């Protein structure tokens, strides 16, 4: 079946590739962020665990997981994107621990792996671009298929029900240039992961405070949001309402 989402991304990234992840200071901060730490805490991966990032973009998730000792395969539909990740990895040589274990050009609709291979299959900013629920469930099922029993599937999407989502979509370049998306709530993400057969499904919201400081002129106060995220934890229900991104995570039975 034609991969319309992969093709739409290919068109939108043509000649540009994805963002650059070759900056050690940025990667150190990113590795310490909830994006990585929530997943590692939940997953309790074996040493040297095998991870697939399916739709890797800049490769920052892959590089962060590799640096704590895991074997990571970075997969993307777009060849140019993978070239960018390779270049970032080369630029980081000798400065950043851990290399990627493999690269793969492929489609999330039909991952080029046998069943039950990976300890963790993860992506951020990808699943929401399939606009029909049946298509999303098929893609999630494909991620689960290549995950080993008791392994973990983690999906991160934009918070589609944030009170400011329309402003973000109008004013932030990342939203404006990406293909259209499903507006996920935490509840919907949890329901789709559970319906796909994952167990122990957990959702959370990432960066609830700084979500209020993304769009000009408020972005000048972004560091205030970052400080509030560090200093004033919110209950999960508020984290999920105000988050920039939603994490949904579960285990294969």
Residue 77 binds ligand SAM, judged by CB under 6 A: yes
Residue 76 binds ligand SAM, judged by CB under 6 A: yes
> Which of 23, 83, 104, 125 touches ligand SAM by CB under 6 A?
125
Q: Which H or E run includes 50? A: strand 50-54
Considering the complex, what minimum distance in angstroms separates the CB of residue 178 from ligand SAM?
A: 6
| Beta strand pairing call for 199-206 and 245-251 | antiparallel
**Calpha distance 27→55 (Å, rounded):** 18
Please identify, among the stretches 53-61, 89-97, 181-189, 210-218, the one whose residues bind ligand SAM according to the rule CB under 6 A: 53-61
Rg (CA), the chain: 17
Smaller CB distance to ligand SAM: residue 50 or 139? 139
Considering the complex, what minimum distance in angstroms separates the CB of residue 235 from ligand SAM?
A: 27
DSSP 158-170: E-TT-TTHHHHHH
Integer CA distances (angstroms), 122 to 40, 140, 166, 170, in order: 11, 10, 26, 28
Residue 57 binds ligand SAM, judged by CB under 6 A: yes
Please identify, among the stretches 37-45, 52-60, 96-104, 225-233, the one whose residues bind ligand SAM according to the rule CB under 6 A: 52-60
**Calpha distance 157→224 (Å, rounded):** 24
The contact pattern for ligand SAM, residues 165-204, with x = CB under 6 A and - = no contact, is ----------------------------------------
Residue 127 binds ligand SAM, judged by CB under 6 A: no
Considering the complex, what minimum distance in angstroms separates the CB of residue 85 from ligand SAM?
A: 9
Smaller CB distance to ligand SAM: residue 79 or 223? 79
Smaller CB distance to ligand SAM: residue 6 or 160? 6
Smaller CB distance to ligand SAM: residue 137 or 234? 137
**In the block, which residue shows the tokens 């291979």?**
117
Q: What is the DSSP letter of 220?
A: G
Q: Which residues lie below 8 Å from residue 164, measured CB to CB, with a gap of 6+?
A: 211, 212, 214, 215
**Closest listed residue to residue 252, CA positions, set 173, 199, 195, 177:** 199
- Percent helix, strand, coil in the chain, to 5, is 45, 20, 35
Residue 242 binds ligand SAM, judged by CB under 6 A: no
Smaller CB distance to ligand SAM: residue 124 or 240? 124
Residue 62 binds ligand SAM, judged by CB under 6 A: no
* Contact footprint for ligand SAM (CB under 6 A): 3, 5-6, 9, 18-19, 54-55, 57-58, 60-61, 76-78, 81, 107-109, 124-126
């Amino acid at each position: 079946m034609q991969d319309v989402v992969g093709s739409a991304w290919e068109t939108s990234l043509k000649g540009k590739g994805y963002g650059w992840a070759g900056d050690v200071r940025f990667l150190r901060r990113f590795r310490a962020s909830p994006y990585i730490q929530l997943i590692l805490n939940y997953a309790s991966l074996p040493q040297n665990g095998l991870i697939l990032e399916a739709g890797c973009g800049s490769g920052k998730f892959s590089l962060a997981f590799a640096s704590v000792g895991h074997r990571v395969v970075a997969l993307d539909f777009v060849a140019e994107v993978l070239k960018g990740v390779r270049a970032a990895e080369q630029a980081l040589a000798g400065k950043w621990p851990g290399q990627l274990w493999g690269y793969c050009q492929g489609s999330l609709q039909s991952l080029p792996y046998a069943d039950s291979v990976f300890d963790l299959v993860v992506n951020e900013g990808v699943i929401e671009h399939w606009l029909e629920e049946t298509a999303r469930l098929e893609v999630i099922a494909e991620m689960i298929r290549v995950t080993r029993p008791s392994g973990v599937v983690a999906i991160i999407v934009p918070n589609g029900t944030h009170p400011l989502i329309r402003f973000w979509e109008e004013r932030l370049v990342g939203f404006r240039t990406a293909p259209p998306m499903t507006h996920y709530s935490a509840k919907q993400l949890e329901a789709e992961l559970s319906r796909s057969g994952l167990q122990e499904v957990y959702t959370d919201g990432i960066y609830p405070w700084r979500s209020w400081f993304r769009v000009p002129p408020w972005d000048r106060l972004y560091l205030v949001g970052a400080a509030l995220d560090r200093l004033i934890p919110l209950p999960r229900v508020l984290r999920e309402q105000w988050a920039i991104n939603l994490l949904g995570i579960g285990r294969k039975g």
